[in-house]
Structure 1
Amino acid sequence: MSDTALENAVRLVDQTVAGERPRPVVKGFFDEATFTASYVVHDPATMRAAVVDSVLDYDPAAGRTAFDSAQKIVDYVEDNGLTVDWLLETHAHADHLSAAPWLQGQLGGKIAIGAEIVRVQDVFGKLFNEGTAFERDGSQFDCLFRDGDTFMVGGIEARVLHVPGHTPADLAYVVGDAVFAGDTIFMPDYGTARADFPGGDARQLFRSIRRLLSLPEKARLFLCHDYKAPGRDEFVHETTVGAERAQNVHVHEGVGEDEFVTMRTERDKTLGMPRLILPSIQVNMRAGHLPDPEANGTRYLKIPIDAV
C-alpha cells in the first residue's frame, strides 16, 4: 500500500540532508518540572519561526499559573529577531499545560494541532461534564492538520504525519530534516510512550513508530520528553532516526508488533497517572485556554471523583 504522505516526508528530509533545501535551526527548552522539551524552529534566511509544544508553568497545590518557561521562548525569539508564524502542538498533552495562547498574545502565530483532537474533546468533554457550551469541533484551534498536509516555516517546507497510538490525535511535524515527534517515541535508552490513555492503542502506536522510523536515518528527531534512563546523568531530547532504529530498547530493528504490544500493555499496567493529567487535559483540549471565569471572577478546574 502506498503511503504518499510518508514518501513526501522522506523526500523532504533527503533533499534537506543533501543540501538541496534549506536546513532549519532548532533551539530546545527543557522544563524539568514536567520533563518536557519545547522547541523554536526557524528558517535562517527569512527568520520566520514555529514554536512546538510550549509549557505554561502550573502549581497544582496553589492553583497558580506562571510564565517563566514561556518567557524564555519569548526572550529567545526577540533576541534573535524571529517572527513566529506557528504555535504547534503535537497532541493534547496530559503532563503539562500549553502556553500557546499566552505566546500568541506575545508573539502572534496560529495555534495548530491534529484534526483528531475532536475525538479527544468528545471523550474528555463527557468526563468533565462540560455540557453544550464546550465545542467539540476543534474550533478552539486556528488550524487542524491532517496526515500529509504541508505548511511553511519561512522558506522551509514542513509536512505533517499522523502518528496515533499514544492518543488519537498525535502528529509529527517534519520541518526540513527536523522531525518533532511529540510523545510517540523517547530517547533510545528509554523507549516509547504509553498507550493506555482513552483512545490510545499499543498496536497503532507500534505502526506509527515504524512509520516514523521509515524516515531517512539522518533525520534529526526532537522529542517532547526525557526522563533520564537508568545510568544516564543528563536530560537529552534530541537523537536521530538511525539511532532509534538501532538502539531503541522497545522498538529497535527486529522487534515484532506482537512482541511490542505485549511489552507495552504489561508496562502500562504498572504506570501511575501523570501528576498534572486532570488540569492539563481540561486546558489543552481548549487549545491552552483556561476555563471561563465564573460569576465571582475566578476560573476553576474540575477534579472527577470516583469517575467510571
Structure 2
Amino acid sequence: MANRATTQGFFDPQTWTISYVVWDPATHRAAVIDPVLDYDFRSGHTSTRSADRLLAHVRDNGLQVDWILETHAHADHLSGARHVQAHAGGRIAIGEHIRLVQSTFKKLFNLEPGFLPDGSQFDHLFKDGETFRIGDIEATALLVPGHTPADMAYLIDGAVFVGDTLFMPDLGSARADFPGGDARQLYRSMRRLLDLPPETTMYVCHDYPPASRQPRWETTVAEQRAGNIHARDGIGEDAFVAMRTARDATLDMPTLILPSIQVNVRGGQLPPPDDNGIAYLRIPLNALPAHGG
C-alpha cells in the first residue's frame, strides 16, 4: 500500500532548518531526519530546545526511532543526532562519502590525531541506492552530490527528503562552493531527483522565505519541474553552472559554518574535552574565503 508513511516537519527559525519525523503508523517505527542542536555563537552555549520539541512528538505518538538520518554534514546548524539517540535510540546514518568531507575538514581544522576520517563516528554509512526499512516501509538512499560530495536524499514511500540539493521553487538551489562542492554535480543531482514521478512529494531541509510568504517545506517534483527558478525544465547544465558560480561568488559563508562542521563530521558529537573538562571549537584564521567562490 503506497503512501503509508506519516511525516511531521519541525521548523527552526534560528537556522531556517526543517527537521522531520517520518514513521510507519502500522508499526510505530520511525526515522528522524536532520535534527538540530541549538547553538548560541555569542556565548558558545548549546541547548536542546529544537531536538526536545521533536522528541516530545516522538513520545506523544508512541514511536520507536530506528534511524537518525543526516542528509549531509551541514554548514548552517549543529546536528542534534546524538541528543536524539541518547533519548530515543536509533542508528545515526549518513552517506559513505562523508569520509571525503571528514578528510578535507580534518586538515582545515587540524583536528586531533584520534579523529579518523573513516566514517566510524556514524553507526551506518549508506551506499547509493541502498535500501532500508522504517517498520514495514521500504526506503532508499540516493547519492546527490554537488552541494557537498556526500549529500544524500532519502526516498520514503512516495516522498523524497532532499536535504540542501533543492529549495522551494521560488528559492531554487543550494550553493556549490563549499570544499568539495561542484555545480555540475549539483545540476545532475537535481535532475536525478526531478526524474522521479511527478507526484512525488518533496521535502526540503531549509527555507529562507521572502517577506511575502511564511516558511514552507513541502512541494512536489511536478511543481519543481514547472517553477523552480534555478532548475525548472528547460534550464540546461551550462546555464545553471554559470548562474550558480556567479551567485556563489556573492555569498558570505554561513554564520555557523565553523562550529557546525566540526560537530557534524563527528555525527553530532562535540569535540573531546581538554584536560580542564571543557570542549573547544577551533577557528582557522584566514583559511576560508570571506565570500563564496
**TM-score relative to the length of structure 2:** 0.97
Say if 1:121 and 1:285, in contact at 8 Å, map to a contact too: yes
Q: Which residue, 199, 219, 225 being the options, matches 2:200?
A: 219
CA distance in 2, matches of 1:178, 1:153: 13
Q: Which residue, 156, 179, 204 being the options, matches 1:198?
A: 179
Alignment of 1:136-151 (within 5 A): 136-151=117-132
- Report whether the alignment pairs 1:128 with 2:121: no
CA distance in 1, matches of 2:132, 2:3: 15
CA distance in 2, matches of 1:268, 1:113: 25
2:291 matched to which residue of 1? none
Q: Which segments of 5 or more consecutive residues in structure 2 lack a partner in the other structure?
A: 289-293
Q: Measure how far apart 1:132 and its partner are.
A: 2.4
Cα deviations by residue, 1:105-147 (Å, 9 ceiling, x for unpaired)? 0000000000000000000000000142111100000000010
- Report whether the alignment pairs 1:301 with 2:271: no
CA distance in 1, matches of 2:139, 2:57: 22
Distance 1:45 1:55, change over 3 A: same
CA distance in 1, matches of 2:85, 2:58: 12
1:257 matched to which residue of 2? 237
1:246 matched to which residue of 2? 226
Q: Which residue, 129, 132, 150 being the options, matches 1:169?
A: 150
1:270 matched to which residue of 2? 250
Q: Quick one: which amino acid aligns to residue 61 of structure 2? A: N
Distance 1:48 1:66, change over 3 A: same
Alignment of 1:65-214 (within 5 A): 65-214=46-195
Q: Which segments of 5 or more consecutive residues in structure 1 lack a partner in the other structure?
A: 1-19
1:7 matched to which residue of 2? none
**TM-score relative to the length of structure 1:** 0.92
1:228 matched to which residue of 2? 209
Number of paired residues?
288
Cα deviations by residue, 1:242-299 (Å, 9 ceiling, x for unpaired)? 1000000001000000000000000000000000000000000000000011011100
- Report whether the alignment pairs 1:30 with 2:14: no
SS in 2 for 1:30: strand
Cα deviations by residue, 1:34-77 (Å, 9 ceiling, x for unpaired)? 00000000001111000000000000110100010000111000
1:289 matched to which residue of 2? 269
Say if 2:3 and 2:158, in contact at 8 Å, map to a contact too: no
Say if 1:37 and 1:225, in contact at 8 Å, map to a contact too: yes
Alignment of 1:31-70 (within 5 A): 31-70=12-51
Cα deviations by residue, 1:76-110 (Å, 9 ceiling, x for unpaired)? 00001111000000000000000000110000000
CA distance in 2, matches of 1:134, 1:71: 28
Q: Quick one: which amino acid aligns to residue 247 of structure 1? A: G
Say if 2:146 and 2:186, in contact at 8 Å, map to a contact too: yes
CA distance in 2, matches of 1:58, 1:114: 25
CA distance in 2, matches of 1:242, 1:218: 6
Say if 1:21 and 1:156, in contact at 8 Å, map to a contact too: no
CA distance in 2, matches of 1:35, 1:287: 20
CA distance in 2, matches of 1:303, 1:252: 39
CA distance in 1, matches of 2:218, 2:282: 35
CA distance in 2, matches of 1:26, 1:213: 21
Distance 1:22 1:263, change over 3 A: closer
Q: Measure how far apart 1:21 and its partner are.
A: 3.3
CA distance in 1, matches of 2:220, 2:134: 21
Q: Measure how far apart 1:22 and its partner are.
A: 4.9
Say if 2:2 and 2:158, in contact at 8 Å, map to a contact too: no
CA distance in 2, matches of 1:235, 1:22: 24
- Runs (4+) off by over 6 Å: none
